[in-house]
Structure formats: C-alpha cells, structure tokens
C-alpha cells in the first residue's frame, strides 16, 4: 500500500478525536499572528506627522548606518564563514580538528558582550591604548573605538558562525562520488570548486548569510554599546526616551520591511533549488596543506578564534577576578534566579506551543495547522524590538477594549491589565523562539512513527499507559533539548526584555545593558560570563550533532 494513502486515512478519521488539538493550534497561530498583523496595519494608516518628523530628523542617518552595517557584516561574514568552513571541512593542517569545533564557540558569546569587551579593551582609557602610549613615538596616538568599522568588525566576529556552520555542513555533504564524477567529466580542481562545489553549497551559504544579515538588523545590544544609531536603538529611544509609541511603531514596521526584504533576497539568491546531498560512502580525501600554506591556514583560524572568543573570555574573567568578591553577592543570585524563572516559564510555554504545532502538522495536516507552523517559523526573523512593539500595541488595544467594557458595565477605570504584565513578555518569547524549539521537537516527533504507536496499541497499551511507556520516553530528550535551547535564548535576549519586562523582572541581559550604558565594563563582566557559560551548552549540542551527522554516515 502506498504510505501516503494510509496517512490520508488517519487524517480523515482524525477530526472528531482531535478537536482540542485543533483548537490549541489555532490559538498558538493566532497568538503569533496578531502582533504581526497589528504592525502591518501600521502601514495601512501611516501617520504622516510622525513620518515627516522622523524623515526630517533621524531617518536618513538610520538608513545610512543600517545599509553600511548590512553590507559590511554581509561581506565580512561571507568571507570569514566560507573561508574557514572550506579550510576545516576540506583541508588538512595542524590544529584543524580543534578549529573545526572551536570556530563555533563565538556563537556562545552574545554580540553585545563582545561589543563591550572590545570597547573596554580598545577605547581611550583601555589597556591597549595605555600600552601603545608607552611605546616611544606613539605617546600621542589616541583614537576612539567607535564608528562604523568597529561595529562592523564586532558584528562580523559575532555572526560569522552562522555562515561557517551552514557552509561547513554543505562542504562536508558533498560526496566523493560527486567530486570524482566532476573530475571524470573533465573539470580540473578549480573548475570542480567553481562549477560543482560552490553551486552545490550556495543555498546553505545564502541561508547562513541571511541569518547573519537578519541578526545584524535585529541587533540592539552591540550597537548601543557603540552609541551607533540603528532602527533598534531608535525604537528604544522613541519608546523610553520620548514615550512616543506611534513613532516606535512606525520605525518597527519599517525595520520589519527590511527583514522581509532580507528574507526575499535569500529566497531569490538561493533559487528554486534546495540541495540536500547526503554523502554516501567514503568522504572525499582532504586537501593536505603543507609548509607556509598550513601555517597560514592555522594562523587565520587561530586568530579568528582568539579575537572572537579566547581574548574576550580572558578579559571577562580578568574583570570578574578584580571586581570585589567577584560580584557573587545576593543581588547576583536573585538576578540569576529571576532570569532562570523567566527563561524556564518561557521554555515551558514555547515547547508546549512547538509540540502542539508539530503534533497538529502530523495528525491533522490541514490548512490551519500548516499556516500555524509557517507562522511559528517566521517569528525568529522578527527583531526583538519589533516584536515588543507589536505585542505592546496588541495588548494596549485589548486593554482599551477591556476598560471600555468595564466602564460601560458601570465600573471605574481598570488601568492596564495585560500590557506591562509578564504575559506580554512570555508571548514575545513564544513568538520569537518557537522556531528554536521546533527543530528538536520535530525530530523527537519524527522518532514517534505512527507504526510505533500502533505497535504499542496492538500490544494492548492505551491511554495513560501508552503516554507513559511510549510518548514520554520517546519525546523527552527532544523536549528537554528544546527547552534548554529556549532557556538560553531567553537569557541572552535583550531588546524585547528591555522594552516589555514588568517592574522588577530584570534579567542578566538587562543588567548588562544597564552597566554598559554607564561604561561599567567590570560590573557587567560577571553576568556576561554567566551568559557565555549558559550559551556554551547549546553550542556543544550543535557541534556534537553536526559531528555525529557526518561521522556516522
């Protein structure tokens, strides 16, 4: 029997039993859709006065800065990511094994942490310039570690791993057979690289590039360390500085448009093709580098690893060591506790949402659940600041309606009910990180093949017994991984938390923002180290998974 037929069948017989699932998925879909719809509706009724003001004041500068960053970081991550991926995936030189996973480590370092460490190290009062001034002839050299090149450098170092990871997987995925076939068809080594390797890897490289560009557009923490104006900082200033939510909304919708452009660009550059080549048989032999080439390769990789991870970490640990008591006081523990509580709740909500969507897509497979699934994947593309504005506008709208109803019913003023509540923040996390949870939850559901459940039922298991003996043990690892990934993402998240957190709900990232905006690098070091250590977990998971995927095959 055709397996497709079987699935159709169980779907046809699904609806009566699956009504709660359908309702839950529609709820998740609606929750993700509403803030987006609210933002888009800002385009439907542009507030001319606000726009004129913006155009006359900040807009030209914002657009110029954003364009410079996107271009600079795009080129930077492309060169760094692809070059390093080629070296570690296809070449052999001393230290390659270490660099292979070591070059993923910068992923654990949030861009804003790297930014403030670079500031602390290189700015006028920093150790580097003090050192320079002791060299005869250089006493008068003085510069500010600010401006476009510095921001581009920091963001490139922070975001190149996206390109690196995807390009590396693509390079590793090209099978020996493909390369040998190309050689037999008359292509030389360079011809093979240009006409077979690059075109095959292009979709992956473009996907990585798109991620880097979207992170650049979304970045708030790093650019604010450098006092560099972009849309995210402008949204923050409009909201908190001028209490002008409409202006923030217009800026957010413009940023959303840029993100959409980046996504569309990715689709276009990637072309219709998605190449999923799984290398069969032996991997192609690596290109052995010797002599100065080997030294060059090792130095390049080592330098990126040093500047992108080792040096910043060393400096952070140094700062923690010199600050009194390391800063490990009650306030720190309370902060960590609240961060974990918030991250844990967000993980619970998000993993539940991802599980519902995954189940619905498999069990129902109908239009609404497919749309909900697509929407849930979109959230990760939304910059935190944009999302915060969307959630805030939706909740303010609901609050207004509630207040009106209450007054009509004869009550007094209710005041804000939802806006400013923890629910707003959790919703923002849910939307933003559903896509993060989707991956592991999906692969967990994949293990739960229909035949496995049927086999258990044929052996007499049902109801809770079935859940306890089959569903839970099979899903648990995936759900835990998803929860861990979301927890770490929430811990590192800065702009949405900053804009939406209720009073008293500071997280480590918020504290870092507060310290760094005062220039207190040393006091920001401990929360930063905590975040990096937490972030190492997912990076190790990622490195293991990609190693496993290519060594077991």
Nearest approach, Cβ of residue 461 and another protein (Å): 6
Using CA atoms, how far residue 460 sits from 466, 468, 469, in Å, is 9, 14, 12
Beta strands 91-92 and 287-288 are parallel
Nearer to another protein, 328 or 452 (CB): 452
SS3 readout for 64-83: HHHHHHHHHHHHHHHHHHHH
285 DSSP assignment: P
Per the structure block, which two tokens stand in for 381? 């593309």
Encoded tokens for 226: 């450098």
State the nearest-atom distance from the C-beta of 268 to another protein, in Å. 38
Q: How far apart are CA 528 and CA 298, in angstroms?
A: 29
Quick one: 10 or 517, whose CB is closer to another protein? Answer: 10
Residues facing 92 on adjacent strands: 288
* Shorter beta-carbon distance to another protein: residue 17 or 276: 17
Residue 355 makes CB contacts below 8 A (sequence gap 6+) with 441, 445, 475, 479
Q: Where are the beta strands (DSSP E) in 182-321?
A: 287-288
> CB of residue 460 vs another protein: minimum separation in angstroms?
5
What's the distance, CA 475 to chain centroid?
24
> Which is closer to another protein, CB of 2 or CB of 408?
2
Q: How far is CA 462 from CA 22, 53, 157, in A?
A: 22, 65, 52
Nearer to another protein by Cβ, of 13 and 293: the residue is 13
CB of 365 to another protein, least distance (A): 14
CB-nearer residue toward another protein: 187 or 456: 456
Output 263 or 456, the one with its CB closest to another protein.
456
Q: CA of 548: how far to CAs of 95, 105, 106, 340, in Å?
A: 20, 17, 21, 30
For the bound state, the minimum distance from the C-beta of residue 369 to another protein, rounded and expressed in Å, comes to: 19
Instruction: Name which of 417 and 470 has its Cβ closer to another protein.
Output: 470
- Nearest residue (CB) to another protein, 118 versus 475: 475
C-alpha 204 chain-centroid distance? 17
Nearest distance from C-beta of residue 453 to another protein, angstroms:
8
Dihedral sign of CA atoms 112, 113, 114, 116 in order: positive
CA atoms lying within 13 Å on the CB side of residue 37: 10
Minimum CB separation of residue 337 from another protein in Å reads: 34
Residues in the site for another protein, rule: CB under 8 A? 1-2, 5-6, 8-10, 12-13, 447, 449, 451-452, 454-462, 465, 469-470, 473-474
- Residue nearer to another protein on the CB measure, 91 or 470: 470
Contact 164, 80 (CB under 8 A): yes
The residue among 44 and 458 lying less far from another protein, judged by its C-beta, is 458
- Beta-carbon count within 10 A of 325 CB: 8
Output 27 or 455, the one with its CB closest to another protein. Answer: 455
If the CB atoms of residues 2 and 135 are measured against another protein, the closer one turns out to be 2
From the CB of 445, what's the least distance to another protein, in Å?
13
Smallest separation, CB 280 to another protein (Å): 18
- Nearest distance from residue 276's CB to another protein, in Å? 21
Nearest to 158 by CA among 98, 100, 223, 204: 223
Alpha helices (H) in 291-417, listed in sequence order: 291-305, 311-322, 330-363, 367-378, 384-408
CB 304 within 8 A of CB 103: yes
Q: Which is nearer to another protein, 258 or 364 (CB)?
A: 364
Place of tokens 């390009």: 167
Q: In angstroms, rounded to a whole number, what is the distance separating the alpha carbons of residues 146 and 307?
A: 17
Least distance in angstroms from the C-beta of 161 to another protein:
31
- Give residues with Cβ within 8 angstroms of 137, minimum separation 6: none
Minimum distance, C-beta of residue 10 to another protein, in the bound complex (Å): 8
288 three-state secondary structure: strand
Determine whether 155 is exposed, middle or buried from the number of CB atoms within 10 Å of its CB (0-12, 13-18, 19+): buried
Helix (H) or strand (E) holding 262: helix 245-270
Question: C-beta of 465: minimal distance to another protein in Å?
Answer: 8
**In the complex, least distance from residue 550 CB atom to another protein, rounded to whole angstroms:** 18
Helix (H) or strand (E) holding 52: helix 48-56
């Amino acid at each position: 029997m055709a397996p497709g037929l079987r699935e159709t069948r169980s779907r046809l017989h699904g609806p009566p039993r699956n009504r709660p699932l359908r309702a839950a998925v529609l709820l998740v879909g609606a929750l993700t859709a509403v803030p987006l719809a609210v933002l888009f509706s800002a385009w439907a009724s542009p507030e001319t006065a606000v726009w004129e003001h913006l155009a006359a004041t900040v807009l030209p500068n914002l657009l110029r800065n954003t364009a410079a960053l996107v271009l600079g970081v795009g080129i930077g991550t492309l060169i760094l990511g692809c070059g390093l991926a080629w070296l570690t995936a296809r070449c052999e030189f001393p230290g390659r094994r270490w660099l292979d996973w070591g070059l993923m480590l910068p992923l654990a370092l949030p861009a804003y942490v790297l930014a403030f460490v670079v500031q602390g190290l290189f700015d006028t009062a920093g150790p580097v310039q003090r050192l320079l001034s002791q060299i005869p002839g250089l006493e008068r050299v003085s510069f500010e570690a600010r401006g476009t090149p510095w921001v581009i450098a920091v963001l490139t170092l922070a975001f190149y791993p996206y390109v690196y990871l995807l390009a590396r997987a693509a390079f590793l995925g090209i099978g020996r057979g493909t390369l040998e076939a190309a050689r037999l068809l008359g292509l030389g080594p360079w011809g093979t690289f240009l006409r077979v390797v690059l075109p095959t890897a292009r979709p992956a490289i473009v996907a990585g590039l798109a991620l880097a560009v979207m992170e650049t557009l979304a970045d708030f923490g790093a650019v604010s360390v450098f006092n560099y104006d972009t849309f995210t900082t402008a949204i923050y200033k409009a909201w908190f500085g001028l209490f002008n939510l409409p202006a923030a909304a217009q800026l957010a919708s413009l940023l959303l448009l840029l993100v959409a452009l980046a996504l569309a660009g990715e689709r276009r550059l990637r072309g219709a093709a998605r190449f999923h080549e799984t290398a069969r048989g032996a991997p192609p032999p690596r290109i052995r580098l010797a002599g100065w080439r080997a030294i060059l390769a090792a130095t390049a990789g080592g330098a990126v690893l040093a500047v992108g991870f080792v040096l910043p970490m060393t400096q952070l640990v140094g700062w923690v060591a010199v600050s009194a008591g390391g800063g490990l006081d009650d306030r720190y523990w309370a902060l960590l506790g609240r961060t974990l509580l918030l991250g844990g709740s967000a993980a619970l909500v998000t993993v539940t949402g991802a599980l519902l969507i995954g189940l619905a897509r498999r069990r129902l497979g109908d239009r609404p659940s497919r749309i909900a699934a697509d929407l849930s994947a979109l959230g990760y593309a939304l910059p935190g600041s944009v999302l915060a504005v969307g959630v805030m506008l939706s909740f303010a709208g609901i609050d207004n309606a509630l207040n009106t109803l209450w007054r009509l019913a004869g009550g007094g003023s209710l005041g804000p009910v939802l806006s400013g509540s923890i629910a707003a923040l959790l919703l923002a996390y849910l939307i933003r990180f559903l896509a993060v949870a989707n991956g592991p939850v999906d692969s967990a559901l994949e293990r739960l093949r229909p035949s496995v459940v049927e086999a258990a039922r044929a052996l007499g298991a049902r109801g809770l017994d079935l859940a306890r003996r089959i569903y839970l043990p099979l899903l648990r690892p995936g759900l835990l991984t998803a929860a861990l990934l979301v927890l770490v993402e929430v811990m590192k998240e800065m702009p949405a938390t900053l804009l939406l957190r209720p009073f008293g709900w500071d997280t480590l990232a918020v504290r870092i923002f507060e310290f760094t905006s005062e220039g207190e690098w040393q006091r920001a070091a401990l929360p930063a180290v905590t975040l990096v250590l937490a972030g190492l977990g997912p990076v190790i998971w990622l490195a293991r998974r990609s190693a496993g995927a290519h060594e077991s095959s």
